[in-house]
Amino acid sequence: MPISIVVGAQYGSEGKGKVAHYLARTEGACAVVRVGGPNSGHTAYDAHGRKFIFQQLPTAALLREPSCVLSAGSYIDVARLLQEIAFARFDTTRLKIDPMAVIITESHRLRERDAQLNASIGSTQTGTGAAVVDRVQRTPTLSFAKDVELLKPYLADSKEYLARTLVRGGRVVIEGTQGFGLSVLHGGHYPYATSRDTTAAGFLAEVGLSPLAVDDIVLVARAFPIRVPGNSGPLPKEIDWDIVTAESHSAGRLEEVTSVTKKVRRVARFDADIVKAAIQSNLPTRLVLNHADYFDRRGSGGSISRVIEAQIASIEERIGRSVDLIGTSGTHLLQRPNSRAVRTA
């Protein structure tokens, strides 16, 4: 009964959406589950090269085959979800929403803004954290997907649906959000954390499936880790985008903005400590290194130069683990010839 879980190794924006889309496409996933809420955006490209940023739907929504599931552990901004459905021209017959997924309201967003969480911890202020608080406090006025008329056509017991998929031998991909260093339990930088756990175990708990069904944990790291701008917490070895641009020999300026707030991200050199901690907590079967071309932009698109290979070898030595898949700024992932990835048939 195969489950793949995609996990971030640093502070989010490692490219988990790209990896989840890749796994769903290349491994014929029958269902892809998006956990969390709209406080993180995942980017993917369709077959025509068009860019999509999803805050609610799994990135596999761009594919034709797999079902897309929002589990009981999800937090839904209804307007945002409907906007993504329309923008991606998503076939809603493939959408399954658990009745117990929580609805984010304007009240939740206003509470985060009034608390000035953006200034204090770099929050995206989407209302996700406030909705988590209401759920934990068992607030009687909290709304669930089952309470929203517009969502009723998509309601399904996600645990039962996914369990049936697994019994039939279909692969399920769980598209985790954010990164290990943002875990409110294990990230180590409280209060500069998100409102949830961000490990494979945490994501699986939000979906409600057994750990015995998991045969694949894919840990995703970046060549240059980032954090959201402002007072968002520690970022060891922090540099700036001018340095990244210069050292990569890029023809144009390299700079990234956040998917949700569109602000310039903080950036740093690769730090082995956070990735080793993520490896220890998740025991990945595969490790992906994205944005590897930030080490060297002089080659042709998607190629891995000797400079990039040398940097990856250095990373592997520092983390004590081989890199199995390499991602560049393109849409594809490259398999490492020396990959020792553990995969179960």
**Residue 344 pLDDT greater than 50, yes or no:** no
Q: pLDDT digit string (tens) for 289-299?
A: 999 999 999 87
CB 308 within 8 A of CB 295: yes
Q: How confident is the model at residue 337 (pLDDT cuts 50, 70, 90)?
A: confident
> Which pLDDT does position 263 carry in this prediction?
86
- Are the beta carbons of 114 and 125 closer than 8 angstroms? no
Q: Is the pLDDT of residue 103 over 50?
A: yes
Contacts of 75 (CB under 8 A, 6+ apart): 36, 37, 38, 101, 102, 103, 104, 128, 131, 132
Beta carbons within 8 Å of 274's beta carbon, 6+ residues apart: 9, 10, 11, 180, 181, 225, 236
Mean pLDDT is highest, among 67-76, 108-117, 250-259, for 67-76
Residue type at 59 in one-letter notation: T
What pLDDT score was predicted for residue 343? 47
- The per-residue pLDDT for 236 is 95
Q: What is the mean pLDDT of residues 227-254?
A: 92
Yes or no: is domain 226-335 CATH 2.60.40.60?
no
Q: What is the pLDDT of residues 4-27, one digit of tens each?
A: 999 999 999 899 999 999 999 999
Helices (H), ranges, 152-219: 158-167, 200-207
Q: Distance (Å, rounded) from C-alpha 225 to C-alpha 156?
A: 37
Cα–Cα distance between 159 and 98 in angstroms, integer?
A: 8
Tell me which H or E stretch contains 75.
strand 67-76
Read off the pLDDT band of 345 (50, 70, 90).
Answer: very low
Could you tell me the pTM of the whole model? Answer: 0.92
How is the chain split into domains, by residue range?
226-335
Is it the case that residue 231 has pLDDT exceeding 70?
yes
Cα(233)–Cα(238) distance, integer angstroms? 11
pLDDT tens for 165-204 read 999 999 999 999 999 999 999 999 999 988 889 999 999 9
pLDDT at 331: 64
Which residues lie closer than 8 Å to 222 by C-beta, 6 or more apart?
A: 10, 13, 14, 15, 270, 289, 290, 291
Indicate whether 302 pLDDT > 80.
no
Amino acid 129: pLDDT = 86
Is 118's pLDDT higher than 80?
no
Q: What average pLDDT does range 302-320 have in this prediction?
A: 92
Helix segments in 289-344, DSSP class H: 306-319
pLDDT for the residue numbered 338: 63
Written as six digits, the tokens of 85 are: 């459905």
